[in-house]
Amino acid sequence: MRIIHAKDYEDMSRKAAAIIAAQVVTDPTCVLGLATGSTPIGTYQNLIKAYEAGDLDFSQVSTYNLDEYRGLSHDDPQSYHYFMKENLFDHINIDQANTHVPDGSDPDADAACSEYDRIVEEAGYPDLQLLGIGNNGHIGFNEPDTCFSKGTHCVDLTESTIEANSRLFDNIDDVPRQAYTMGIQTIMNAYMVLVIANGEKKAQAVHDMCFGPIQPSCPASILQLHPNCVVIADDAALSLCK
Ligand code: F6R
């Protein structure tokens, strides 16, 4: 695990975008694993800028997002599919048919999750998987647990995640209680994992991910075993790592 120290959110976002851009330039047909949430927005903005400057071509890139709320259709403004369109896909020349997010509108969780595993496996797993990290150490929506998960599955979101994500909803009661998420094993299958984190609220999770025991109570700690994991975090997120 390599830890790269960023000065602040902007610096973290530029550095992360530079690594993703290098991936796209060196392999224009690459598979990217993508994340939603507040953390990657600046990274996506920098990728859009590089695309607008003529430095990046996404026409042959395919993407697989980590997760989606159960019960939300792709065109629901609160869905992660919608988020990706708003924050990245609608601003670059990616073929929308090559973008993939679990189908939260499918009420059959087993069918939706096994179909997602099938297409991620068929794609050969991401060349680069971008991750944010939850305040409680979750990655994707793999919440603290007693064992590490394998493939895509349906999860009950914890109260702390529901509360953290409620800032994006009018009312905390509107936050879906379940989500479909790629499993830990699927995330570990990516050739490179790039974790980004900023802010004091992430400090404990970042410390436990990098230096804590490898245990499912901090799902991100498994990344210590990944052969090519890069963490880019700002001062505040690294404040407990000194
Ligand atoms: C989102 C995801 C989550 C977030 C995490 C951090 O696709 O997989 O694990 O990365 O909840 O969210 P933010 O960036 O909003 O702090």
Atom 12 in ligand 1: residue holding the nearest Cα: 37
Round to whole Å and give the CA distance between 66 and 214: 21
What pTM was computed for the model? 0.96
Atom 11 in ligand 1: residue holding the nearest Cα: 134
**CATH architecture classification, 2-234:** 3-Layer(aba) Sandwich (3.40)
- Give me ligand 1 centre to Cα 163, in Å: 13
ipTM over 0.90: yes
Q: Among residues of the chain, what percentage have pLDDT more than 90?
A: 93
Round to whole Å and give the CA distance between 105 and 112: 9
Give pLDDT, residue 168: 84
Q: Position of tokens 């020349």?
A: 93
Atom 9 in ligand 1: residue holding the nearest Cα: 140
Tell me, using a 6 A CB cutoff, whether residue 67 lines ligand 1: yes
Mean pLDDT of the chain: 96
Q: Domain ranges in the chain?
A: 2-234
Tell me, using a 6 A CB cutoff, whether residue 183 lines ligand 1: no
Tell me, using a 6 A CB cutoff, whether residue 194 lines ligand 1: no
Give, in order, the Cα–Cα distances in Å from 128 to each of 1, 16, 52, 99, 191: 14, 11, 22, 15, 6
Asked if residues 65 and 181 have their Cβ atoms less than 8 Å apart, the reply is no
Sign of dihedral through CA atoms 38, 179, 149, 100?
Answer: negative
Tell me, using a 6 A CB cutoff, whether residue 33 lines ligand 1: no
- Tell me the per-residue pLDDT of 188-238, one tens digit each, with 9 for 90 and over: 999 999 999 999 999 999 999 999 999 999 999 999 999 999 999 999 999
Please state the atom number of ligand 1 nearest to the C-alpha of residue 161.
11
- Give me ligand 1 centre to Cα 37, in Å: 5
Average pLDDT over residues 20-43: 98
Tell me, using a 6 A CB cutoff, whether residue 81 lines ligand 1: no
How far is CA 213 from its chain centroid?
Answer: 22
- Give me ligand 1 centre to Cα 36, in Å: 6
Round to whole Å and give the CA distance between 162 and 155: 12
- Give me ligand 1 centre to Cα 131, in Å: 7
